[in-house]
Amino acid sequence: MKLPHTARFLFILVLSCTISVAGFTQTVPGSTGQDLLQDPSWLVGATLQSIITQFGSPLAVYAVRGQEPWQDDVVFSYDGIDLYWYQNRVWQVAVPQGYGIKKGDPKETVLSVLGEPLIQQNSSLVFRLPSRGWPLRLRVQLSETNAVSGLFVYRPDY
DSSP 3-state assignment of 105?
coil
Dihedral over alpha carbons 113, 93, 67, 141 (to 10 degrees)? -20
Report the largest interatomic distance among the alpha carbons of the chain, rounded to a whole angstrom.
Answer: 54
Q: Which pLDDT belongs to residue 32?
A: 42
What is the rounded CA–CA span in Å between residue 57 and residue 18?
Answer: 6
Q: Which pLDDT belongs to residue 133?
A: 87
Q: Which pLDDT belongs to residue 27?
A: 37
Q: Which pLDDT belongs to residue 102?
A: 96
Amino acid at 108: E
Q: Which pLDDT belongs to residue 142?
A: 98
- Cα 22 from chain centroid (whole Å): 18
Does residue 51 contact residue 83 with C-beta atoms inside 8 Å?
yes
pTM of the model: 0.77
Query: What does DSSP assign to residue 16?
Result: H
Mean pLDDT by 10 residues, the chain (158 residues): 45 37 37 64 95 95 87 91 94 96 97 97 95 94 97 93
Sorted by where each starts, the structural domains of the chain and their CATH numbers stand as: 40-154 (3.40.33.10)
Q: Which pLDDT belongs to residue 35?
A: 62
What is the rounded CA–CA span in Å between residue 99 and residue 151?
Answer: 10
**Edge-to-edge strand order for the sheet containing 119-120?**
60-64, 73-78, 81-86, 89-95, 148-154, 136-142, 124-129, 119-120
